[in-house]
Structure 1
Amino acid sequence: MQRFDFTPYRRNTVGFDRLFELLENTGRAATNENYPPFNIERTGENDYQVTVAVAGFKSDEIDIVAQQNLLIVTGSKQAEGNDNRDFLHMGIASRNFERRFQLADHIHVTDADMADGLLIISLVREVPEALKPRKIAIGGKTAANVIEHADSAKKKGTNAA
């Protein structure tokens, strides 16, 4: 795997350390994480959906934890007492897993559902009103008052003389 050097960018930016660490850590972890398979899709302008293939797991064997900027999906398979089974081929993986998803700011989990061996987690981006861009109106009245005020001061000065 190719490793990227972010040093030139770190020298010229301030406050982006978390972003560069995220990119470096994701690159390292991507080689080891391939179970269980998952999809991430955008379902609307601010809506997302993470679908994790959890065939063979029951809903009580899966934990979903949402922290600030992190979603952790954990599957813990209960040990079955049927150890004397004789498999000719075992292609369905049923091992324990932990899958981590880094979330952007203001992304929140809204719902989780499980059907047909798929765990579906719904996410939404809710940007607070204080952080949304707002248009600032240029008040022509304020500028006119300042100009009138300056003109009226000159007129008053000339009338008094």
Structure 2
Amino acid sequence: MSRTILFDSPYLLGFEHTRALIERAAKAAAEAYPPYNVEDLGEGRLRITLAVAGFSPDQLHVSVEDRQLVVAGRRDEAHKDDDAYLHRGIAGRGFLRSFVLADRVVVDGASLEHGLLHIDLARPEPETAIKRIPIRTTG
């Protein structure tokens, strides 16, 4: 992937982290399988739904690695030769899909229902921290 020219400016020092986030997001956007929806459930909650028909819960893996949600599906290749299809329209390949998460976004849970993997996310309100600064006197 080519570097983003905007962040190569000598006036934007220390933005390497931002550039890395943009590159990770661009890479994640290029993935096309499996298809997914992102719903806004209100009150800072989101739901990502992936179409994973044919995958069982033990063939799916959901993890968070360095503020990146990673969803992987691995098919059991042992029974692949036993199947004789006249037409195969449902994709059966493994996949790896990732989503870059913003600060303070947490994964609440995941559920598999009717071939759809639902991953619930939340962004809790930050706690208001009040810090009292002591005033020193001089002289």
Which residue number corresponds to residue 45 of structure 1? 43
Identity of aligned residues (%): 38
1:107 to 105, 108, 132: 105
Question: What is the CA–CA distance in structure 1 between the aligned matches of 2:28 and 2:128, rounded to whole Å?
Answer: 35
Q: In terms of mean alpha carbon deviation, does 11-20 or 87-96 score higher? A: 11-20
Matched, 1:63 2:61: yes
Question: What is the CA–CA distance in structure 2 between the aligned matches of 1:12 and 1:42, rounded to whole Å?
Answer: 37
Alignment check: 8 A CA contact 1:42 1:49 kept: yes
Q: In terms of mean alpha carbon deviation, does 95-104 or 66-75 score higher? A: 66-75
Runs of 4+ in structure 1 displaced over 6 angstroms? none
Task: Give 1 or 2 for the bigger CA radius of gyration.
Answer: 1
Rate the CA distance shift 1:95–1:65 in 2: closer, same or farther, 3 A: same
1:57-136 to 2 correspondences below 5 Å: 57-81=55-79, 83-130=81-128
Question: What is the CA–CA distance in structure 2 between the aligned matches of 1:109 and 1:28, rounded to whole Å?
Answer: 21
Question: What is the CA–CA distance in structure 2 between the aligned matches of 1:127 and 1:14, rounded to whole Å?
Answer: 31
Alignment check: 8 A CA contact 2:28 2:98 kept: no
Report the TM-score when normalising by structure 1.
0.68
Alignment check: 8 A CA contact 1:64 1:71 kept: yes
Deviations, residues 58-117 of structure 1 (Å, cap 9, x unaligned): 111111112341111111111243624332321101111111111001000111111111
Which residue number corresponds to residue 23 of structure 1? 22
TM superposition shift of 1:12? 3.7
Q: Given residue 60 of structure 2, which amino acid in structure 1 is its aligned partner?
A: I
